[in-house]
Amino acid sequence: MKLSRKIHFLWQRLTRGFDDSELWSLNTTVAAFIEPRLRAYIDTYNHGFPMGLDGGNEAWLVMLEKMHRAFKLIVDSEGAMYMLTEEEQAEVETGLNLFREHFFHLWD
């Protein structure tokens, strides 16, 4: 990488908190941000679960694990869905749908 590009990226990180390289594969960048935080959320679990959820706490933990698995698969494949098996692609779709559905329940 050219020195001028490195300096440009450094300037971007200092002024806005990220550089343009994070935009080249934004799906992977976002997944890489969410995955470890979701893992920590699960591992330090002392949270409530969504009201009216059938199965309560245990069902919520299963959903959280499915969400985490989706983001882990995205990170590990560097966002290249074609690298995943059909089963893994289905896991990603399921986990992302759960994440979308329960996004506002991810709080403590």
Q: pLDDT tens digits, residue range 62-81?
A: 999 999 999 999 999 988 98
Any idea of the CA torsion for 99, 102, 104, 108, to the nearest 10 degrees?
-100
Angle, CA 23 vertex, CA 21 and CA 26 arms, to 5°: 125
Distance, C-alpha 40 to centroid of its chain: 12
Q: Residue range 79-84: average pLDDT?
A: 90
Cβ-based neighbours of 69, under 8 Å, separated by 6 or more: 91, 95
Tokens, residue 72: 């882990």
- Domain residue spans of the chain: 23-105
Here the tokens at position 41 are: 């959320």
Reported as a single tens digit per residue, the pLDDT across 12-61 is: 999 999 887 778 889 999 999 999 999 999 998 777 888 888 888 889 99
User: Quick one: pLDDT at residue 45?
Assistant: 74
